[in-house]
Structure 1
C-alpha cells in the first residue's frame, strides 16, 4: 500500500518539512506547560504544538466547533491531500475518483479531552457546583463526547464520502488506524484512504492521571532534556500532542496518476498481552509476536530491517520490555540495526504518536536518514542495542519497522519499505 501524501502537526512546527527538520537536527520541543497553569502538578512539562488555527486556514466557525485535536487532524489531512497531488488534480471532485470510494480512518486515544475539560470547568463553575448548569456549555458539546466527530470533520474537509471511522486503542491508535485503513483498501471497501491519528491531551485531567501513576517525568527544571528514552537516568515520558495523516492507495493507482510514493506499507500486526492495564511482561513476547507476523505479511526476513522506529517512551519498564522484544524477534540482527525514539524530541502524544512515527519512518526511507534519540547520554546497560544517540545517521534505508505499545497491553508493529523493493517468501 503506497503512502502518497503526508500531513503533520507536531511540537516544533506545523507541516511535514518542519517536523522532519526538527527530527534530523536532534532538536527537542519539550518545555514547561503553557496551555494552562500547571504549578500544582507533579509533572509540569510537555511538548506543545505552536498551533494557530486561524493562521492554518480554519474559519472562526471551525475553530469554535472543533476540539484542538480535531483541528490538528483537519490541518494535517489538508496538507496530506495537497501533498498527494489529489487536490491539484481535482481527484476528490468531479474530475477524480468517486468520493464514495474515498474513506477516512482517524486514531485517537483520548478524544476531545481538551474541550471536555474546559467545558466541565465552565458548567461546574470551576468544580464548585455538583449539579452543573448545562446552559453555559458550547452548542457543539455533543461532538466533544463522541470521538467519531474527528473522522467526520476530516471527511468533510477532504470531501470523502466512503467509510469513516475512529480507532481507539490507546497509544497504538496511530499505528492501528493506518493498519485498518490498509485493510479497507485491500478488501475493496475503498480506493483511497485518508488515515492517521490525532490527540491533544495536554490538559489538567490528563496530567493529573499520569501524575497519579507516576508515568511522566518530574524533571521540571530541565524540560528540554527530560525525555530520555533508553538512558540510565530516564524517569518517565513527557506528554505531547499532534497529528499525522496520510493518503494511502494501491501502488498501481499511484503509478497511473503519476503520484510520488514515499514508501509502501507492506506488513502490519497487533497483539495484546492480556496481562495488565499498565504492566508489561519483561520478555517482550507479545511485541515480538506482532513483529514476527508483520514481517511475515511483508514477506521479508528479519535481516531486511534497516531501521527500527521504537516506541521508546522513556519509562523504565517500557524500554527494557522493548529491548527484549527486539532481541527475541530479530535475534542477532537486533544488534546490527539502528533504533531510535522520536519521543525524545516530540514527546508522547498518546494515540497520535504512532502516526507521527509512521511519518518519520516514511521520511527516513525517502531521505536516507535515521533520526536520533535525543538526550541519550548514559545508555542503560539493560538497553544494550544501537539506539542512535544524539546525532542523526545518514544511510540507505530500504525497510523500517515501527512499533507501538499501549496501556491495556496493546502491541503493534508495522513494516514500511522503499517503493518496488523485491520481496519474497522466506
Structure 2
C-alpha cells in the first residue's frame, strides 16, 4: 500500500478504522487559482522508501508508488523469487491517467512554461517516452519481481484498479500464469487534472474545510476530493498458496464488469448496469444476495453517483440491501482515480482479516434518497465472510468483485 495517511498496509488500515481523514490543502503545487484546492496526498519520499536516486529521478510518481507497493506485497506473500518460474509469473497494473505528473512537468519544460506552441525536444528528459506509454508502469513492476509472463496495463477510468485484479484472476483461471502481481496506481494531483475536474464541477469547492470536505451519502455533499495512491496484490490459486504456507487474506469469488454506453460522465439513476455487474459477480462466486455481509461502495461524494449505486444495491440485493452495512473509504482518503479500485479491495481484504468495517467519515445528515446503512463516522466490528466491492468510472464503466473469507469453500 501507498496511501494518503501512511505508507504500508498497517498505517492504511489504522487510518481507516480510526475514521480519520487524510484530505488537506494541496501542497504539490500552488492550487490557489483553481476552483477546488484540496486533495488527499501521500506523504511519500522515494529515497526513504528504498528507491535509488536513479529510480527516483527516472520514474514517474505513480510508477514509484507501484514499485514500492509491489515490494511490500511480494515480501508479505513469502514468495521466493528464486523458486518462481518467470514465464508463469505475470503483472497487471491499472491506471486511469498514467504518468500524468511527469508528462505535465516535461511539457512545461519543453514549451517554456506553455509559452511556445512548438516545443523543444532537446529540453525533454531522455526517458520521456516512458511517460507517454503507460505500459512502462507494468514493465517496471515486472522487472521488480522478475516476471516474464503476461504483462499489461488496464485503463478503464476509475474502475481500472478493480478491472486489473479481475483480469489477473482470469489469466490464472485460464492457465496463462501461476502467480500474478496485480493492482492499481495513480498520482493525478497535478494542475491539468485539477483543471479538468474543475471544468465539469466534479470536485468539491469546500476548500475551507479540507478534513471534512469528502462527504459521501451526506445531504451536504457537493463533489469528490481528488486523491492518489497504490495497492498491489499477489494472486495465485488457493491450494498453491496454502501448500507453501502463505498467509491468505481473502479469496476472489467472482468478478464482472459492464458499460452503460450512455454518457461520458453521466449515470442512469436506476443503477441497472452496476446491478447487472453485481448479480453476475455474485453468481460466479456461488453466493446468494443475502449472504453479502459488507459492501465497499464507490461512494465518490457526487450526488448522481451516490444515488445511482444506492439504487444498484437495492436492485441487486433486494430487501437484503437494507440489512447490509455499506461504507465509502473515499471519505477519508479521497478518490485516486485508477488506483482506488485496488485500494478499496485492500480495505475489503483487511476488513475480512481484522473483523471490522471501515466507516463513512463526515456522514452526519444522510441524503433521504440514500437510505441504506452507510456505517457513519465510527468503524464497526463484524465477522465478514462475503464482501462486495464496486467501482464506477467515466465512460459508463461499472465493475463488481466479490471477496470471500479464506476459510470459505472455493467456487
Q: TM-score of the superposition, structure 2-length normalised?
A: 0.99
Q: Identify if the C-alpha distance between structure 1 residues 183 and 423 changes in structure 2 by more than 3 Å, giving closer, same or farther.
A: closer
Aligned residue number for residue 168 of structure 1 = 155
1:193 paired residue number: 180
Q: 2:224 aligns with which of 234, 237, 250?
A: 237
Q: What is the CA–CA distance in structure 2 between the aligned matches of 1:137 and 1:24, rounded to whole Å?
A: 44
Distance (whole Å) between structure 2 residues aligned to residue 38 and residue 255 of structure 1: 49
Question: Once superposed, which parts of structure 1, at least 4 consecutive aligned residues long, lie more than 2 Å away?
Answer: none
Whole-angstrom CA distance in 1 between matches of 2:324 and 2:254: 18
Q: What is the CA deviation profile of residues 374-397 of structure 1, one whole-angstrom value per residue up to 9, with x for unaligned ones?
A: 000110000000000000000101
Contact kept in structure 1, 2:20 and 2:361, CA below 8 Å: yes
Q: Identify the match of residue 392 of structure 1 among 368, 374, 379.
A: 379
> 1:92 maps to what in 2?
81
- Tell me the matched-pair count: 411
SS in 2 for 1:190: coil
Residue 390 of structure 2: which of 380, 399, 403 is its match? 403
* CA positional deviation for 1:250: 0.2
1:116 paired to 2:103: yes
Equivalent residue of 2:248, what SS? Answer: coil
Query: 1:255, CA displacement in angstroms?
Result: 1.1
Q: Does 1:282 align with 2:269?
A: yes
Cα deviation, 1:96-137, whole Å, max 9, x if unaligned, reads 121111100000000000000100111111111111111111
Task: Identify unmatched segments of 5+ residues in structure 1.
Answer: 1-7
Confirm or deny that 1:264 pairs with 2:251.
yes
What is the 5 A alignment of 1:23-42? 23-42=16-35
Distance (Å, rounded) in 2 between the aligned partners of 1:100 and 1:423 = 26
Question: Cα 1:60–1:423, aligned 2, differ >3 Å: closer, same or farther?
Answer: closer
State the distance in 2 between where 1:159 and 1:346 align: 31
CA deviation profile, 1:201-240 (whole Å, cap 9, x unmatched):
0000000000000000000000000000000000000000
Alignment of 1:141-152 (within 5 A): 141-152=128-139
Aligned-pair CA distance for 1:161:
1.2
Does the aligned pair in 2 maintain the 1:338–1:388 contact within 8 Å? yes
Q: Could you tell me which residue of structure 1 aligns to residue 279 of structure 2?
A: 292
Q: What residue is the counterpart of 1:209 in the other structure?
A: 196
- d(CA) in 1 for partners of 2:161, 2:240: 24
Partner of 1:20: 13
Q: Which position in structure 2 is the counterpart of 1:55?
A: 48
Please state whether the residue corresponding to 2:239 is helix, strand or coil.
helix
Task: Give, in whole Å, the separation in 2 of the partners of 1:304 and 1:92.
Answer: 38
Q: In the alignment, does 2:294 pair up with 1:304?
A: no
Question: d(CA) in 1 for partners of 2:408 and 2:47?
Answer: 42
Which residue does 2:401 correspond to in 1? 414
Which SS does the other structure have where 2:345 is aligned?
Answer: helix
| SS of corresponding position for 1:135 | helix
- 1:83 corresponds in structure 2 to 76
Q: Cα distance, 1:257 vs. partner?
A: 0.2
- Post-superposition CA distance 1:140-171 (Å, at most 9, x none): 10000000000000011111111110000000
Deviations 1:238-285 (A, max 9, x none): 000000000000001001101110000010000000100001000000
TM-score w.r.t. the length of structure 1 is: 0.96
The answer as to whether partners of 1:12 and 1:22 remain within 8 angstroms in 2 is: yes
Q: What SS does the aligned partner of 1:356 have?
A: helix
Alignment of 1:255 with 2:242, yes or no, is yes
Match of residue 65 from structure 2: 72
Where in structure 2 are there 5+ consecutive unaligned residues? none
Q: Which residue of 2 aligns with 1:5?
A: none
How far apart are the structure 1 equivalents of 2:334 and 2:298? 11
Counterpart selection for 1:323 from 291, 299, 310: 310
